[in-house]
Amino acid sequence: MCGIFGVITNQEIPIGKIALEGIKRLEYRGYDSVGIVSQHEGKLFIKKDAGKIDEVHKKLKLDDFPGKVAIAHTRWATHGAPTKVNSHPHTNCTNNIAVVHNGIIENFMTLKKELIRNGHKFRSDTDTEVIPHLIEDKMKEGLDLKESIIEVLKICKGSYGLAILHLDLPDAIIVVRKESPLVIGIEPGKTTYCASDIPAFLPLTRICYILEDCEMAILRAGEVDFFNINTSEKIEKKSQQIEWSIDAAEKGGYKHFMLKEIYEQPTALRQTLKISEDEMKTFAQILLSAENIYITGAGTSLFASLAGKFIISRFLGKFIQAIECSELKIQLKDCLKENSVIIALSQSGETIDTIEAIRWAKKTQNVKILSITNIVGSSITRYSDHVIITRAGPEIGVAATKTYACQVLTLGLISLEIAKLRKQENEEEIQQYEKALKSTPQIIEAFLENNINLIKNTVKNLEKHSNYFFLARGISIGIAKEGGLKLKEVACRFIEGYSAASAKHGPIALVRKNFPIVFIAPPDETYERLIGNVMEFKARGGKIISFVVESDKKITELSDITIRIPQPGNKYFNLFSPITFIPALQLLAYYTAIFHNLNPDKPMNLSKTVTVH
């Protein structure tokens, strides 16, 4: 869940500045501590400390390093507290090897005890520190650095993206991956980069190689060689051209990535609408012939699944079960059938629980895996039968925003292909749904243009409240949960996102005068019953904040605050309301964070990509 970055060049460029800017673009992966090491004239130069990158930079001048090679790390603490000594890079006893690591060495305790018995001195509580010490031992046995790393990785259990410097190899960085992402960027003949994610070097180059599991790369200035660590043999890899725009990884004029990415939603949706019909058709055909269908993901991706299952079953006529990825194996272990299909959603394509779930399902019953992700070449793409890559562009804010909208849109497009193939609806009807789905970017644009003051005033009105209910019925339960998750993670409020019907079976006990209750209320078949639920909460003094369509009257009359989504109130638009309603809730969360002086891009304790169980 940490971020690693490396640079090696033969150009006259400020290596510290490049390393600092690169690692800053990965800060969404963790911000407990930061460290950079360069090597120059036979010495390692290390600066590291606990804290966010800007704070540490102020103290240590992280842009000032000598030499032409550096590696850097931003940490999300797992083993060992977020302190200076536990910050990466970690070195060996003789301080000639420096390592940055993203992942977990599961058997580090056993390895560490053995190393200590053999006289090694440890400085940190991390799992990572065993790696430089183990390499030191292997090199003492006479192996070169590359072979030593390969031998060390044979005894290390767990996951890793590693970047390693050694004073004896001053013109190289060695990188290796297993289960933790690593990509290589190159300016041929000049400079080579490695990083946990493409945006880290996007402003510098668009030529990229994706390292697969158990592959090693030796980076030299403007060159790279690849090896398979199981055979030690050299392998050939093809480079890819990254199509994301260069400013995609920058904040532009926005104060935060989260705000920028909320505003990018219309563009992201328009780009995703361009995905070929054939890709959607492949998914549609597989779903039409499947007996059991499950849809899975974590966090926001799970909530996109909750919307997606309604949208797809609307046309497929089959029940789709949404299961949290970490629960999938335990819930299906005795009943997963061969002719099943799993739709897996993951923005990053690296969430360990999602990957584990699909790998288990594939191995157990050879079920078909259909994945929707935002990242080309991510792990999920390797374990799936078919993949659709959404076109949201890089999402840097820790809170998922535009990628959620694009996931649901993709599920909408698949559902329309199903409708066309299944022919249960007449053509005109399908066209109406298609029109509604294709209008989602304009609806969001119109909302963003006209409602910011209303959202800000709502935030002010709610300033004293730190507990909320977010309630809805049917398809909108997913919206309530996702909107609630946003407010939780970026604004540190406590939210219960719940079924409005179930809320009276317990949660309603908490309601006192002015307790805020947010209702998500598009005028679908659940609307009349939802009115009853609004009244139940109003009768107990709750403050009602409702998200409704433009023409809404009944729930508006019962509400203290109404936020109107500018869309027609008919069944075609209702079906895609998980896309059009969500920006309003994202903005509510964003401005609440700002109001309470919280940085929405760096919520406490979070990392954007969760690669530990």
Does residue 258 interact with ligand M6R by CB under 6 A? no
Does residue 479 interact with ligand M6R by CB under 6 A? no
Select from 183-191, 307-315, 395-403, 459-467 the region that touches ligand M6R (CB under 6 A): 395-403
- Residue 553 CB contacts under 8 Å (≥ 6 apart), including other chains: none
Considering the complex, what minimum distance in angstroms separates the CB of residue 197 from ligand M6R? Answer: 11
Considering the complex, what minimum distance in angstroms separates the CB of residue 303 from ligand M6R? Answer: 8
DSSP string, 245-269: -GGGGS-TT-SSHHHHHHHTHHHHH
Give the one residue of 217, 284, 392, 610 binding ligand M6R; rule: CB under 6 A.
Answer: 610
Considering the complex, what minimum distance in angstroms separates the CB of residue 508 from ligand M6R? Answer: 27
- Residue 381 CB contacts under 8 Å (≥ 6 apart), including other chains: 349, 371, 373, 375, 387, 389
Give the one residue of 32, 137, 489, 552 binding ligand M6R; rule: CB under 6 A.
Answer: 489
Considering the complex, what minimum distance in angstroms separates the CB of residue 451 from ligand M6R? Answer: 22
**Do 349 and 371 touch, CB atoms closer than 8 A?**
yes
Does residue 371 interact with ligand M6R by CB under 6 A? no
Structure tokens at 562: 């109404």
Give the one residue of 86, 91, 300, 580 binding ligand M6R; rule: CB under 6 A.
Answer: 300
Select from 97-105, 125-133, 297-305, 516-524 the region that touches ligand M6R (CB under 6 A): 297-305
Considering the complex, what minimum distance in angstroms separates the CB of residue 359 from ligand M6R? Answer: 15
Burial class (CB in 10 A: 0-12, 13-18, 19+), 250: middle
Does residue 399 interact with ligand M6R by CB under 6 A? yes
Question: Which of 138, 481, 543, 608 is labelled catalytic?
Answer: 608
Give the chain's length: 613
Query: What φ, ψ does residue 11 adopt, rounded to 5°?
Result: -95, 160
Does residue 347 interact with ligand M6R by CB under 6 A? yes
Distance CA(191)–CA(205), nearest Å, equals 9
Q: Which residue, among 164, 217, 265, has the nearest Cα to 584 in the 3D structure?
A: 265
Does residue 491 interact with ligand M6R by CB under 6 A? no
Helix (H) / strand (E) element for 446: namely helix 440-450
What is the three-class DSSP state of 355?
Answer: helix
What is the three-class DSSP state of 349?
Answer: coil
Nearer to ligand M6R, 269 or 530 (CB): 269
Does residue 372 interact with ligand M6R by CB under 6 A? no
Catalytic residue at 2? yes
Considering the complex, what minimum distance in angstroms separates the CB of residue 67 from ligand M6R? Answer: 35
Count of beta carbons in the 10 Å neighbourhood of residue 85: 17
Select from 14-22, 89-97, 422-430, 602-610 the region that touches ligand M6R (CB under 6 A): 602-610
Strands 191-195 vs 3-9: parallel, antiparallel or unpaired:
antiparallel
Give the one residue of 165, 176, 298, 341 binding ligand M6R; rule: CB under 6 A.
Answer: 298
**Does the bond joining 89 to the residue before it have cis omega, within 30 degrees of 0?**
yes
Structure tokens at 92: 């060996």
Site for ligand M6R in 557-596 (CB under 6 A): none
Give the one residue of 191, 346, 451, 526 binding ligand M6R; rule: CB under 6 A.
Answer: 346
Strands 494-499 vs 467-472: parallel, antiparallel or unpaired:
parallel
Nearer to ligand M6R, 192 or 348 (CB): 348
Nearer to ligand M6R, 354 or 415 (CB): 354
The separation between CA 583 and the C-alpha centre of its own chain, rounded to angstroms, equals 18
Considering the complex, what minimum distance in angstroms separates the CB of residue 405 from ligand M6R? Answer: 12
Q: Which residue, among 469, 482, 443, has the nearest Cα to 307 in the 3D structure?
A: 482
Select from 208-216, 276-284, 298-306, 551-559 the region that touches ligand M6R (CB under 6 A): 298-306
Select from 38-46, 56-64, 100-108, 392-400 the region that touches ligand M6R (CB under 6 A): 392-400
The separation between CA 612 and the C-alpha centre of its own chain, rounded to angstroms, equals 13
Does residue 295 interact with ligand M6R by CB under 6 A? no
Q: Which residue is nearest to ligand M6R (CB)?
A: 299
Structure tokens at 252: 């532009």
Number of residues that bind ligand M6R (CB under 6 A): 16
> What is the crossing angle of helices 452-461 and 582-595, to 10°?
50
Q: What is the CA radius of gyration of the chain?
A: 25
Does residue 611 interact with ligand M6R by CB under 6 A? no
Does residue 348 interact with ligand M6R by CB under 6 A? yes
Structure tokens at 381: 């793409």
Does residue 400 interact with ligand M6R by CB under 6 A? yes
Does residue 22 interact with ligand M6R by CB under 6 A? no
Structure tokens at 345: 């959603």
Residue 57 CA neighbour count, 13 Å, CB half: 16
Residues assigned a catalytic role: 2, 608
Which spans of this chain sit near ligand M6R (rule: CB under 6 A)?
298-301, 346-348, 351, 354, 398-400, 489, 606, 609-610
